[in-house]
């Protein structure tokens, strides 16, 4: 059983990690579905065990948030917000600040991938008008969205996993990681400016003229009201999945919009990806592979809390770029309770796996969304991204370690 689960694990994670390779056309959801089916066909898991391996709390949390985001997309809320921010920038540096802080803060509330999807097209149009070099702004959008998403349990998929598995209260998590996110956003702006200071000046820009997106004000108000109540549920009930799916269902009922329109905007492949991944990890866990991996890594983690925070954060950044951050969090979630201070290590895991997404251009889905949507207008080079991404990953992770270390009792 161990050999079979190991081979399936290697096959699945190789396909997940090799998305840019031309020798295969399989995407991440297909890779996890393949791994899940093989776990059952080879007898590592029974069909009933595969069903039980899927964490439906995470699936419900993701689905609930995606429903709300779908209605905000239908209302053109994100496009309208990005329009307001971009058109009010008076110079190139202010535009950089607006892009960075707005995308970072909104990513904490509405998931980083969504913000990149909505912001990129309008940003490209604005940059074509101003004749500014678009590269630093696109890099800032991607990296800031990743950084900002660290601040809440719903900012990105890996944080949602942390929230479901750790049972850390929503407000408690945010109070600990908002300082990490805000300080890292400031540093990220400085890093982008330093590397592209020839392209980012303080000369007054000509007014940016863009077609003003039409916003469905009634649907926006309804959606934001439900978002408010969902976050109240997160804070006071502590039940993230139930709060999210209840809010999503309520919005479907009161929106006066055809549900099918919202359903078409939900990323069902992400739910498939998570479901398959749960089954693959369930298989390797049953075979004892996760325990063996932990036994290999554990001696290098240190014997005190601070050493464990430093070493585990560094390990998480590297591992998240090998197998991707969501799979790594799912793999390592079972290790956290074995540390001296599990709660501190959950913060460390959320922080480091999120910031790991900035290391390379392929480090996160948010990065790839920005690059794919802008490729017809500009090509962001690997090294252009890497010099900013590498620097901001190292510096923001150090900031995170320092701030988290203050919480050690």
DSSP states of 282-294: HHHHHTTHHHHHH
Phi-psi region of 167 (alpha: psi -120 to 50; beta: other; left: phi over 0): left
Q: The tokens 């063996």 sit on which residue?
A: 292
Helix (H, G, I), strand (E, B), or coil: what is residue 142?
helix
Q: Which residues of the chain have pLDDT under 70?
A: 18-24, 409
Backbone dihedral angles phi then psi of residue 204, each to the nearest 5 degrees = -65, 130
CA torsion 44-47-51-52 (nearest 10°) is -60
Global confidence as pTM:
0.87
Angle at 181 between CA 178 and CA 184, to 5 degrees: 145
Reported as a single tens digit per residue, the pLDDT across 97-108 is: 999 999 999 999
| Residues 71 and 110 sit within 8 Å (Cβ to Cβ) | no
Q: Tokens representing 315?
A: 């390990």
| Residues 114 and 66 sit within 8 Å (Cβ to Cβ) | no
| DSSP one-letter code for 265 | T
Phi-psi region of 111 (alpha: psi -120 to 50; beta: other; left: phi over 0): left
Backbone dihedral angles phi then psi of residue 36, each to the nearest 5 degrees = -65, -45
Q: The tokens 């585990």 sit on which residue?
A: 312
Q: How many CB atoms lie within 10 A of CB 105?
A: 18
Provide the H-helix boundaries in 2-91. Answer: 2-17, 28-41, 47-53, 56-74, 77-87
The predicted pLDDT at position 292 comes to 84
């Amino acid at each position: 059983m161990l050999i079979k689960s190991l081979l399936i694990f290697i096959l699945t994670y190789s396909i997940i990690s090799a998305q840019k390779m031309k020798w295969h056309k399989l995407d991440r959801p297909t890779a996890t579905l393949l791994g899940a089916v093989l776990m059952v066909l080879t007898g590592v898991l029974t069909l009933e065990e595969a069903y039980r391996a899927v964490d439906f709390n995470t699936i419900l949390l993701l689905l609930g948030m995606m429903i709300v985001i779908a209605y905000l997309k239908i209302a053109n809320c994100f496009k309208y917000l990005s329009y307001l921010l971009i058109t009010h920038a008076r110079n190139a540096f202010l535009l950089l600040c607006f892009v960075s802080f707005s995308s970072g803060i909104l990513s904490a509330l509405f998931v980083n991938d969504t913000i990149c999807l909505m912001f990129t097209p309008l940003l490209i149009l604005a940059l074509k008008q101003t004749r500014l070099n678009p590269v630093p702004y696109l890099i800032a959008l991607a990296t800031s969205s990743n950084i900002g998403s660290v601040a809440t349990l719903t900012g990105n998929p890996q944080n949602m996993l942390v929230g479901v598995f750790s049972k850390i209260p929503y407000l408690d998590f945010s109070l600990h990681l908002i300082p990490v996110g805000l300080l890292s956003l400031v540093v990220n702006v400085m890093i982008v400016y330093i590397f592209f200071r020839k392209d980012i000046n303080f000369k007054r820009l000509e007014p940016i003229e863009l077609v003003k997106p039409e916003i469905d004000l009634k649907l926006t108000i309804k959606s934001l009201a439900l978002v408010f109540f969902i976050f109240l549920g997160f804070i006071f009930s502590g039940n993230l999945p139930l709060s999210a799916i209840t809010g999503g269902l309520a919005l479907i009922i009161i929106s006066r919009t055809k549900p099918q329109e919202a359903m078409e905007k939900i990323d069902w492949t992400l739910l498939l990806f998570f479901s398959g991944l749960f089954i693959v990890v369930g298989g390797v866990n049953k075979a004892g592979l996760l325990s063996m991996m932990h036994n290999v890594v554990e001696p290098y983690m240190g014997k005190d809390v601070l050493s464990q925070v430093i070493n585990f954060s560094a390990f998480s950044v590297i591992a998240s770029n090998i197998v991707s951050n969501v799979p790594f969090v799912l793999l390592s979630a079972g290790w956290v309770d074995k540390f001296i201070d599990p709660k501190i290590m959950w913060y460390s895991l959320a922080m480091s796996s999120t910031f790991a997404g900035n290391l390379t251009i392929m480090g996160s889905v948010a990065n790839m969304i920005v690059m794919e949507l802008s490729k017809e207008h500009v090509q962001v080079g690997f090294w252009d991204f890497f010099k900013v991404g590498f620097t901001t990953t190292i510096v923001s992770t150090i900031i995170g370690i320092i701030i988290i270390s203050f919480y050690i009792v």
